[in-house]
Amino acid sequence: MKLSDFNFDLPEELIAKYPPENRTDSRMLVVPKNLDKKFTDFPDLLNAGDVLVLNNTKVIPARIYGVRGEAKIEATLHKKIDERTWLAFVKNSKRLKINDTIDFSKMTAKVLEKTDAGTLLKFNKSGENLLAILDKIGHMPLPPYMKRNDDSADKLRYQTVFAERNGSVAAPTAGLHFTDEILKKIKAKNVKIVFVTLHVGAGTFLPVKTENLDEHIMHSEWGEIDKKTADILNKTRESGGRIIAVGTTATRILETATNNKKIVESFCGETDIFITPGYKFKAIDVMLTNFHLPKSTLFMLVSALAGTSEMKSAYAHAIEKKYRFYSYGDCCLLEKKERK
Protein backbone atom coordinates (compact mmCIF):
# COMPACT_ATOMS: atom_id res chain seq x y z
CA MET A 1 0.00 0.00 0.00
CA LYS A 2 1.35 3.41 -0.98
CA LEU A 3 1.22 6.76 0.79
CA SER A 4 0.18 8.45 -2.46
CA ASP A 5 -3.02 6.36 -2.48
CA PHE A 6 -4.29 8.60 0.33
CA ASN A 7 -3.60 11.98 -1.21
CA PHE A 8 -6.17 14.60 -2.16
CA ASP A 9 -6.15 18.34 -2.86
CA LEU A 10 -7.71 20.62 -0.27
CA PRO A 11 -8.22 24.35 -0.84
CA GLU A 12 -6.42 26.32 1.89
CA GLU A 13 -9.54 28.37 2.64
CA LEU A 14 -11.42 25.27 3.85
CA ILE A 15 -9.02 24.75 6.78
CA ALA A 16 -10.83 25.92 9.92
CA LYS A 17 -8.41 28.14 11.83
CA TYR A 18 -10.93 29.10 14.51
CA PRO A 19 -13.81 27.19 16.13
CA PRO A 20 -17.44 27.93 15.19
CA GLU A 21 -19.29 30.40 17.42
CA ASN A 22 -21.03 27.53 19.22
CA ARG A 23 -19.75 23.97 19.57
CA THR A 24 -22.87 22.48 17.96
CA ASP A 25 -22.85 24.81 14.93
CA SER A 26 -20.87 22.28 12.90
CA ARG A 27 -22.14 20.44 9.84
CA MET A 28 -22.10 16.66 9.63
CA LEU A 29 -21.70 14.52 6.51
CA VAL A 30 -23.20 11.02 6.73
CA VAL A 31 -21.09 8.49 4.79
CA PRO A 32 -21.48 6.50 2.52
CA LYS A 33 -24.76 8.15 1.44
CA ASN A 34 -23.16 11.63 1.51
CA LEU A 35 -26.14 13.14 3.31
CA ASP A 36 -25.65 16.73 4.45
CA LYS A 37 -26.76 17.08 8.07
CA LYS A 38 -26.12 19.31 11.05
CA PHE A 39 -24.31 18.02 14.13
CA THR A 40 -27.49 18.73 16.11
CA ASP A 41 -29.07 15.87 14.09
CA PHE A 42 -26.59 13.41 15.60
CA PRO A 43 -28.81 12.18 18.51
CA ASP A 44 -31.59 11.37 16.00
CA LEU A 45 -29.29 8.90 14.25
CA LEU A 46 -28.70 6.86 17.41
CA ASN A 47 -30.85 3.93 18.51
CA ALA A 48 -31.94 2.84 21.97
CA GLY A 49 -29.47 0.20 23.13
CA ASP A 50 -26.48 1.76 21.37
CA VAL A 51 -23.43 2.85 23.35
CA LEU A 52 -21.47 6.03 22.65
CA VAL A 53 -17.75 5.93 23.46
CA LEU A 54 -16.00 9.22 24.32
CA ASN A 55 -12.31 9.90 25.00
CA ASN A 56 -12.00 11.80 28.30
CA THR A 57 -8.38 12.83 27.85
CA LYS A 58 -7.52 16.45 28.66
CA VAL A 59 -5.18 18.63 26.61
CA ILE A 60 -2.38 20.14 28.63
CA PRO A 61 -1.01 23.61 27.70
CA ALA A 62 2.13 21.90 26.44
CA ARG A 63 3.78 24.72 24.47
CA ILE A 64 6.12 26.72 26.70
CA TYR A 65 8.58 29.55 26.11
CA GLY A 66 11.88 30.04 27.90
CA VAL A 67 15.47 31.20 27.59
CA ARG A 68 18.92 29.65 27.78
CA GLY A 69 21.20 32.61 28.26
CA GLU A 70 20.19 35.03 25.52
CA ALA A 71 18.72 32.34 23.27
CA LYS A 72 14.92 32.17 23.13
CA ILE A 73 13.54 28.65 23.32
CA GLU A 74 10.11 27.30 22.32
CA ALA A 75 9.35 23.76 23.50
CA THR A 76 6.27 21.63 22.88
CA LEU A 77 6.08 18.75 25.33
CA HIS A 78 4.77 15.67 23.56
CA LYS A 79 5.53 12.53 25.57
CA LYS A 80 5.69 12.04 29.32
CA ILE A 81 8.55 9.77 30.41
CA ASP A 82 8.11 10.10 34.17
CA GLU A 83 6.75 12.64 36.67
CA ARG A 84 9.41 15.24 35.84
CA THR A 85 10.80 14.15 32.46
CA TRP A 86 9.26 14.85 29.05
CA LEU A 87 10.22 14.52 25.41
CA ALA A 88 9.74 17.84 23.62
CA PHE A 89 9.97 19.27 20.15
CA VAL A 90 12.25 22.29 20.58
CA LYS A 91 12.64 25.13 18.11
CA ASN A 92 16.27 26.27 17.94
CA SER A 93 17.31 22.92 19.44
CA LYS A 94 20.70 23.30 17.73
CA ARG A 95 21.43 26.06 20.24
CA LEU A 96 21.05 23.60 23.12
CA LYS A 97 23.73 21.30 24.49
CA ILE A 98 23.48 18.36 26.87
CA ASN A 99 23.22 19.57 30.51
CA ASP A 100 22.09 23.07 29.46
CA THR A 101 19.41 24.56 31.73
CA ILE A 102 16.39 26.33 30.22
CA ASP A 103 14.57 28.93 32.33
CA PHE A 104 10.80 28.72 31.81
CA SER A 105 9.96 31.56 34.23
CA LYS A 106 8.32 29.55 37.03
CA MET A 107 10.46 26.43 36.54
CA THR A 108 13.61 25.20 34.84
CA ALA A 109 14.50 22.16 32.78
CA LYS A 110 17.80 20.40 32.16
CA VAL A 111 18.62 19.01 28.72
CA LEU A 112 19.32 15.30 29.20
CA GLU A 113 19.47 14.05 25.63
CA LYS A 114 18.77 15.05 22.02
CA THR A 115 17.14 12.33 19.90
CA ASP A 116 15.24 11.90 16.63
CA ALA A 117 12.06 11.84 18.73
CA GLY A 118 12.85 15.19 20.33
CA THR A 119 14.79 16.73 23.20
CA LEU A 120 14.61 15.03 26.60
CA LEU A 121 13.94 17.61 29.33
CA LYS A 122 14.08 17.02 33.08
CA PHE A 123 12.16 19.67 35.05
CA ASN A 124 12.78 20.89 38.60
CA LYS A 125 9.05 20.40 39.25
CA SER A 126 7.10 17.16 39.03
CA GLY A 127 3.63 15.64 38.95
CA GLU A 128 0.74 17.92 39.87
CA ASN A 129 3.11 20.84 40.58
CA LEU A 130 4.47 20.64 37.04
CA LEU A 131 0.96 20.48 35.57
CA ALA A 132 -0.17 23.45 37.68
CA ILE A 133 2.72 25.56 36.37
CA LEU A 134 2.00 24.47 32.79
CA ASP A 135 -1.58 25.59 33.33
CA LYS A 136 -0.28 29.07 34.23
CA ILE A 137 2.51 29.59 31.72
CA GLY A 138 1.73 27.09 28.95
CA HIS A 139 -0.02 27.66 25.65
CA MET A 140 -2.44 25.32 23.91
CA PRO A 141 -0.47 23.32 21.31
CA LEU A 142 -2.55 24.17 18.25
CA PRO A 143 -1.75 22.11 15.14
CA PRO A 144 0.77 23.70 12.73
CA TYR A 145 -1.77 23.97 9.89
CA MET A 146 -3.73 26.63 11.83
CA LYS A 147 -0.77 28.97 11.22
CA ARG A 148 -1.56 31.18 14.19
CA ASN A 149 -0.73 31.61 17.86
CA ASP A 150 -3.21 30.38 20.43
CA ASP A 151 -5.50 32.87 22.15
CA SER A 152 -7.45 32.86 25.41
CA ALA A 153 -10.50 31.25 23.76
CA ASP A 154 -8.47 28.18 22.76
CA LYS A 155 -8.01 27.10 26.39
CA LEU A 156 -11.75 26.48 26.46
CA ARG A 157 -12.53 25.56 22.87
CA TYR A 158 -9.55 23.25 22.18
CA GLN A 159 -10.86 21.06 25.00
CA THR A 160 -13.92 18.81 25.19
CA VAL A 161 -16.60 19.55 27.80
CA PHE A 162 -15.96 16.08 29.27
CA ALA A 163 -12.14 16.32 29.41
CA GLU A 164 -10.94 14.86 32.70
CA ARG A 165 -7.55 13.13 32.57
CA ASN A 166 -4.49 15.30 31.83
CA GLY A 167 -2.10 13.98 29.22
CA SER A 168 -2.85 14.97 25.61
CA VAL A 169 -0.92 17.41 23.45
CA ALA A 170 -3.70 17.51 20.86
CA ALA A 171 -7.46 17.46 21.28
CA PRO A 172 -9.61 14.43 20.43
CA THR A 173 -11.34 16.73 17.97
CA ALA A 174 -14.52 14.78 17.21
CA GLY A 175 -15.46 15.38 20.85
CA LEU A 176 -15.26 19.16 20.47
CA HIS A 177 -18.76 19.32 18.96
CA PHE A 178 -20.50 17.99 22.08
CA THR A 179 -22.22 20.07 24.76
CA ASP A 180 -23.84 18.97 28.01
CA GLU A 181 -27.22 19.55 26.37
CA ILE A 182 -26.44 17.22 23.45
CA LEU A 183 -25.20 14.56 25.86
CA LYS A 184 -28.49 14.81 27.81
CA LYS A 185 -30.47 14.31 24.59
CA ILE A 186 -28.40 11.23 23.79
CA LYS A 187 -28.98 9.72 27.23
CA ALA A 188 -32.71 10.45 26.90
CA LYS A 189 -32.75 8.12 23.88
CA ASN A 190 -31.64 5.25 26.13
CA VAL A 191 -28.15 5.35 24.66
CA LYS A 192 -25.39 4.57 27.15
CA ILE A 193 -22.36 6.87 27.29
CA VAL A 194 -19.01 5.45 28.40
CA PHE A 195 -15.54 6.95 28.64
CA VAL A 196 -12.16 5.59 27.60
CA THR A 197 -8.80 7.35 27.69
CA LEU A 198 -6.20 7.77 24.97
CA HIS A 199 -3.66 10.53 25.49
CA VAL A 200 -3.10 12.04 22.05
CA GLY A 201 0.57 12.48 21.21
CA ALA A 202 2.26 14.80 18.75
CA GLY A 203 2.49 11.90 16.34
CA THR A 204 -0.96 12.94 15.23
CA PHE A 205 0.72 16.00 13.62
CA LEU A 206 3.74 14.24 12.18
CA PRO A 207 3.76 13.45 8.44
CA VAL A 208 4.22 9.90 7.18
CA LYS A 209 7.64 9.90 5.53
CA THR A 210 7.67 6.52 3.77
CA GLU A 211 5.91 5.89 0.45
CA ASN A 212 5.67 2.18 1.36
CA LEU A 213 3.31 2.11 4.35
CA ASP A 214 4.78 -1.19 5.57
CA GLU A 215 7.89 0.82 6.48
CA HIS A 216 6.03 3.43 8.56
CA ILE A 217 6.75 3.32 12.30
CA MET A 218 3.59 4.32 14.16
CA HIS A 219 3.89 6.52 17.24
CA SER A 220 2.70 5.00 20.52
CA GLU A 221 0.16 6.59 22.87
CA TRP A 222 -0.97 5.69 26.39
CA GLY A 223 -4.54 4.55 26.87
CA GLU A 224 -6.89 2.84 29.29
CA ILE A 225 -10.23 1.03 29.29
CA ASP A 226 -11.44 -0.19 32.68
CA LYS A 227 -13.29 -3.47 33.28
CA LYS A 228 -16.64 -1.78 33.98
CA THR A 229 -16.55 -0.04 30.59
CA ALA A 230 -15.42 -3.22 28.83
CA ASP A 231 -18.35 -5.12 30.39
CA ILE A 232 -20.86 -2.49 29.19
CA LEU A 233 -19.44 -2.67 25.66
CA ASN A 234 -19.59 -6.46 25.59
CA LYS A 235 -23.18 -6.52 26.88
CA THR A 236 -24.15 -3.97 24.23
CA ARG A 237 -22.68 -6.20 21.54
CA GLU A 238 -24.47 -9.27 22.94
CA SER A 239 -27.84 -7.48 22.97
CA GLY A 240 -27.52 -6.25 19.38
CA GLY A 241 -26.66 -2.62 20.11
CA ARG A 242 -24.06 -0.68 18.16
CA ILE A 243 -20.74 0.60 19.46
CA ILE A 244 -20.30 4.16 18.23
CA ALA A 245 -16.83 5.62 18.68
CA VAL A 246 -16.36 9.37 18.85
CA GLY A 247 -13.08 9.98 17.09
CA THR A 248 -10.09 8.06 15.81
CA THR A 249 -8.55 8.06 19.30
CA ALA A 250 -11.50 6.24 20.88
CA THR A 251 -11.45 3.88 17.90
CA ARG A 252 -7.75 3.06 18.28
CA ILE A 253 -7.97 2.25 21.98
CA LEU A 254 -11.13 0.17 21.47
CA GLU A 255 -9.56 -1.84 18.66
CA THR A 256 -6.41 -2.31 20.74
CA ALA A 257 -8.39 -3.71 23.68
CA THR A 258 -10.63 -6.05 21.66
CA ASN A 259 -9.54 -9.64 21.05
CA ASN A 260 -10.09 -11.76 17.95
CA LYS A 261 -13.38 -13.06 19.36
CA LYS A 262 -14.64 -9.45 19.41
CA ILE A 263 -14.58 -9.31 23.21
CA VAL A 264 -13.42 -6.01 24.71
CA GLU A 265 -10.94 -6.53 27.54
CA SER A 266 -9.69 -4.07 30.14
CA PHE A 267 -6.48 -2.39 28.98
CA CYS A 268 -3.87 -0.05 30.41
CA GLY A 269 -0.68 0.76 28.54
CA GLU A 270 0.83 1.94 25.27
CA THR A 271 -0.68 1.27 21.86
CA ASP A 272 0.90 1.77 18.45
CA ILE A 273 -1.93 0.23 16.43
CA PHE A 274 -1.75 1.32 12.77
CA ILE A 275 -5.07 0.83 10.98
CA THR A 276 -5.05 0.80 7.17
CA PRO A 277 -7.44 -0.60 4.53
CA GLY A 278 -7.74 -4.36 4.88
CA TYR A 279 -7.91 -4.18 8.67
CA LYS A 280 -10.92 -6.06 10.11
CA PHE A 281 -12.59 -3.97 12.78
CA LYS A 282 -13.40 -5.95 15.91
CA ALA A 283 -14.87 -3.33 18.24
CA ILE A 284 -16.76 -0.53 16.53
CA ASP A 285 -19.73 -0.25 14.17
CA VAL A 286 -19.92 3.50 13.56
CA MET A 287 -17.51 6.40 14.03
CA LEU A 288 -18.01 10.15 14.31
CA THR A 289 -14.87 11.96 13.22
CA ASN A 290 -13.62 15.23 11.77
CA PHE A 291 -12.11 15.64 8.30
CA HIS A 292 -8.44 14.67 8.20
CA LEU A 293 -5.25 15.67 6.41
CA PRO A 294 -4.25 14.03 3.12
CA LYS A 295 -1.62 11.28 3.47
CA SER A 296 -2.29 11.10 7.23
CA THR A 297 -2.61 7.93 9.31
CA LEU A 298 -6.05 9.22 10.32
CA PHE A 299 -7.29 9.38 6.72
CA MET A 300 -5.97 5.83 6.31
CA LEU A 301 -7.97 4.76 9.37
CA VAL A 302 -11.26 6.23 8.13
CA SER A 303 -10.61 4.67 4.72
CA ALA A 304 -10.15 1.31 6.42
CA LEU A 305 -13.52 1.70 8.14
CA ALA A 306 -15.71 3.14 5.39
CA GLY A 307 -13.75 2.24 2.24
CA THR A 308 -11.07 4.22 0.41
CA SER A 309 -13.19 5.06 -2.65
CA GLU A 310 -16.13 5.95 -0.39
CA MET A 311 -13.98 8.33 1.65
CA LYS A 312 -12.48 9.99 -1.43
CA SER A 313 -16.02 10.48 -2.75
CA ALA A 314 -17.15 11.86 0.62
CA TYR A 315 -14.21 14.28 0.81
CA ALA A 316 -14.81 15.46 -2.77
CA HIS A 317 -18.45 16.12 -1.80
CA ALA A 318 -17.35 17.94 1.36
CA ILE A 319 -14.93 20.13 -0.60
CA GLU A 320 -17.61 20.95 -3.18
CA LYS A 321 -20.06 21.85 -0.40
CA LYS A 322 -17.36 23.85 1.41
CA TYR A 323 -17.28 21.91 4.67
CA ARG A 324 -14.70 23.14 7.18
CA PHE A 325 -11.73 20.79 7.62
CA TYR A 326 -9.48 19.58 10.45
CA SER A 327 -9.50 20.16 14.21
CA TYR A 328 -11.92 23.10 14.43
CA GLY A 329 -13.90 21.98 11.39
CA ASP A 330 -17.02 19.97 10.63
CA CYS A 331 -17.51 16.24 11.15
CA CYS A 332 -18.66 13.12 9.37
CA LEU A 333 -20.50 10.03 10.55
CA LEU A 334 -19.06 6.84 9.09
CA GLU A 335 -20.74 3.46 8.85
CA LYS A 336 -18.47 0.43 8.77
CA LYS A 337 -18.27 -1.05 5.29
CA GLU A 338 -19.15 -4.72 5.44
CA ARG A 339 -16.41 -6.93 4.01
CA LYS A 340 -17.34 -9.76 1.67
The DSSP-derived string for 193-228 is EEEEEE---GGGTSPP--SBGGG--PPPEEEEE-HH
CATH fold of 3-59+156-335:
QueA-like (3.40.1780)
Whole-number pLDDT of residue 340: 59
CATH 3.40.1780.10 spans which residues of the chain?
3-59+156-335
CB 195 within 8 A of CB 55: yes
**pTM of the predicted model as reported, rounded to 2 decimal places:** 0.95
Question: Is the model's pLDDT at 204 over the cut of 90?
Answer: no
Task: Report, as an integer, the average pLDDT of 283-298.
Answer: 97
Whole-number pLDDT of residue 207: 85
Pick the CATH number of 63-139 from 2.60.120.20, 3.90.550.10, 2.40.10.240, 3.40.50.1220: 2.40.10.240
* Torsion angles phi and psi, residue 88, rounded to 5: -140, 145
Task: Report, as an integer, the average pLDDT of 226-236.
Answer: 98
pLDDT tens-digit series, residues 35-80: 999 999 999 999 999 999 999 999 999 999 999 998 999 999 999 9
Task: Report, as an integer, the average pLDDT of 268-274.
Answer: 96
Nearest to 256 by CA among 246, 264, 248: 264
CB 284 within 8 A of CB 258: no
CB 254 within 8 A of CB 196: yes
pLDDT tens-digit series, residues 3-31: 999 999 999 999 999 999 999 999 999 99
CATH 2.40.10.240 spans which residues of the chain?
63-139
Q: How far apart are CA 204 and CA 20, in angstroms?
A: 22
